[in-house]
Amino acid sequence: MKFHLVFISLLVLAYGSDIRNPKFPNDELYSSSILGYLKLFELEKQFMTHVKGYGDALQEKLDTLKLHLKTIDRKAHKTQAGRDKYISNPLKAFSLLRRLREDWIRLQVYTKAKPGKGELDAMKKLLDRKQNFEDLQEGLRGLSRIEQTYDLNAVDISQGRLLNQEFNKELSLRDCLAIANHKYQSGDYTRAAVWYRQAIKHKDEPNSEVYNEALGKPAAGLRRKYAMACLMHATHIRYPSLNHKELQAEVDKILREKSSIDLEKFVRQLLEQDVNEFIQEAEQVKPPTTDHDLGCRGLFKKRTNLSCRYNFTTTPFLRLAPLKMEEINHDPYIVMYHNMISDREIEEMKRLSVNMSNGFSGVTSQNQTESIEVVARVAWLVEKTPFLERINQRITDMTGLDVNEFRAVQIANYGLGNYFKPHYDYMYGNRIQMNSIDGLGDRMGSLIFYTGDVPQGGMTVFPNIQVAVEPQKGNSLFWYNIFDDGTPDPRTLHSVCPVIVGDRWTITKWLHMASQIFTKPCSPKKKLYYKA
């Protein structure tokens, strides 16, 4: 019972008490992780299989109808004499009369029958499992996060360039339009205008007529939307205190005074303007760059007083098998251990993490004003398994700390554009008081195993001390969150950068204070010259 209470408390502390916030459905969000996108990928594969099956059923029916027409013993008979000769044959005349009373009726019934009903029913079931509106919004927010955090532009993204790397994928006109609409609705009129411009200038796609016939014309009203976004952008610069509704009223007033000819002329002038000039003008309303953003962009100054060495002193076992340790920061203490988990163990971890659910960054402020955001797909490994025992022993070898009081670890898999906002791992000042965690005490240390390949993005950033750590697969990052006297160290504020490319899997372990009372010596606290 005691273990169960501790587990629930830690789960709440990790993601906030609003983990079941009604804003998010109980159904999984595919956008919450790469694992979710893989499930959606397989669902689309099934859906397209049924679409093909339905098309084959339609084709089979069409072939049947064509074959039936060929079997009727008659010719065009272009002349009246030819038609008279045909009808004068009693057998042919009788067949014509019988077809009228029998075949035509049956043929009409056959044409009304819906081919591929099984395929249609299967597609309906799959559509019931599709991503919901909130899921799509999370995906759009993730893409916007990538664009803003890494200071990318719409032109590069739409043409498949991310951080100067070329990808064999260009966004479609519908993709660009969906992003533009999302940015407009969220109040980012500057980027919305650029994305609308990209949609207008988008080249016709192969077989676009076929797409438009099936999916509708995406460009309907596009030029007007572009004009509105540009006007909202300009009005926002002129009247920065106006909210969306007030800005919209000003723009509607301007548009009412313009004819369709004037509006088209205005749009043509906008399109003739160089996009780089527009982006430079937009810098006037660009939000300030945060230390989190600088870290994600790799712009922190490189440290020169750090070293790599073998650690063979933490536990007696390390005298036989020392660990490769890299110093990341001296004060506060942050180190990286290399090659701490194998590919085979990572696959074992994934097999054990079958029941993963959406994870959220919860409300941690006392006034509960912070927003709920999807972070990743998460699972807790609680049951005693050889894998969990090995991981916990390895954590003890790295840190020298006792993990017996709470041996569970948390598994997380991030989606594209998913991140974790700057936060502290210690619970000091949290609205959940320390006495509610059943005597474990505060989180004195944090340890992360990086268990996925992330070529771009996904770094762990400590913005207050200008440190950014790349998530190298197989490595493990460890740091202390509090001082020896139990007071919090505000320098340990950290965040996770949005994932651009890759599959960010992690194993996280929080090491608590109470169980280390006879393990970690209490050194005098140094005076901290830092303004939180």
Residue 454 lies in domain = 2-18+309-516
Q: Is 209 or 178 the better-scoring residue by pLDDT?
A: 178
pLDDT at 430: 44
Query: What average pLDDT does the segment 303-311 reach?
Result: 91
Q: Is the pLDDT of residue 292 over 90?
A: yes
Integer CA distances (angstroms), 146 to 136, 417, 419, 449, in order: 16, 6, 10, 23
Q: Look at residue 159 and give its three-state secondary structure.
A: coil
In a domain, 14, yes or no: yes
Asked if residue 488 and residue 342 are part of one domain, the reply reads yes
Q: Is the pLDDT of residue 328 over 80?
A: yes
Q: Is 378 or 25 the better-scoring residue by pLDDT?
A: 378
Asked if residue 122 and residue 190 are part of one domain, the reply reads no
pLDDT at 27: 60
Query: What average pLDDT does the segment 106-126 reach?
Result: 89
Q: Look at residue 307 and give its three-state secondary structure.
A: coil
In a domain, 139, yes or no: no
Rounded Cα gap, residues 29 and 397, in angstroms: 37
Rounded Cα gap, residues 458 and 442, in angstroms: 26
Asked if residue 340 and residue 242 are part of one domain, the reply reads no
Asked if residue 351 and residue 500 are part of one domain, the reply reads yes
pLDDT in tens, 46-56: 999 999 999 99
Query: What average pLDDT does the segment 516-522 reach?
Result: 74
Rounded Cα gap, residues 486 and 83, in angstroms: 105
| % pLDDT > 90, the chain | 41
- CA-wise closest residue to 310 among 326, 331, 334: 326
Cβ–Cβ < 8 Å for 525, 459: no
pLDDT at 145: 93
In a domain, 124, yes or no: yes
In a domain, 142, yes or no: no
Which one-letter amino acid corresponds to residue 113? A
Asked if residue 366 and residue 437 are part of one domain, the reply reads yes
Q: Burial letters for 428-453: b for 16+ Cβ neighbours within 10 Å, e otherwise?
A: eebeeebeebbebbbbbbbbbbbbbe
Asked if residue 455 and residue 343 are part of one domain, the reply reads yes
Provide Rg for the chain, Cα atoms: 32
pLDDT at 437: 52
Helices and strands: H and E segment counts in the chain:
18, 17
In the block, residue with structure tokens 């919305």: 192
Rounded Cα gap, residues 333 and 341, in angstroms: 22
In a domain, 96, yes or no: yes
Q: Look at residue 240 and give its three-state secondary structure.
A: coil
Asked if residue 270 and residue 240 are part of one domain, the reply reads yes
| % pLDDT > 70, the chain | 85
Which stretch of DSSP H or E encloses residue 338? strand 334-338
- CA-wise closest residue to 301 among 466, 505, 160: 466
Strand order from edge to edge, sheet including 420-423: 420-423, 494-496, 460-462, 467-469
Which one-letter amino acid corresponds to residue 452? G
pLDDT in tens, 57-94: 999 999 999 888 888 867 777 788 888 888 888 888 88
Helix axes 386-399, 343-352, angle to 10 degrees: 120
pLDDT at 375: 82
Q: How confident is the model at residue 2 (pLDDT cuts 50, 70, 90)?
A: very low
Query: What average pLDDT does the segment 451-479 reach?
Result: 96
Rounded Cα gap, residues 353 and 59, in angstroms: 44
> Which phi and psi (to 5°) does residue 375 adopt?
-105, -55
Cβ–Cβ < 8 Å for 426, 440: no
In the block, residue with structure tokens 């397989």: 42
- CA-wise closest residue to 520 among 450, 455, 445: 445
Cβ–Cβ < 8 Å for 420, 378: no
pLDDT at 256: 82
Asked if residue 441 and residue 321 are part of one domain, the reply reads yes
Q: Is the pLDDT of residue 11 over 80?
A: no
Asked if residue 350 and residue 235 are part of one domain, the reply reads no
Which one-letter amino acid corresponds to residue 269? Q
Torsion of CA 151, 147, 167, 226, to 10 degrees: -110
In a domain, 530, yes or no: no
Global pTM reads 0.83
pLDDT in tens, 186-200: 988 888 988 999 998
Asked if residue 62 and residue 103 are part of one domain, the reply reads yes
In a domain, 28, yes or no: no
And the tokens for 17?
A: 């008490």
How many C-beta atoms surround the C-beta of residue 317 within 10 A?
14
- CA-wise closest residue to 482 among 527, 439, 427: 427
CATH classification at residue 401:
2.60.120.620
**How many domains are there within the chain?**
3
pLDDT at 4: 39
In a domain, 25, yes or no: no
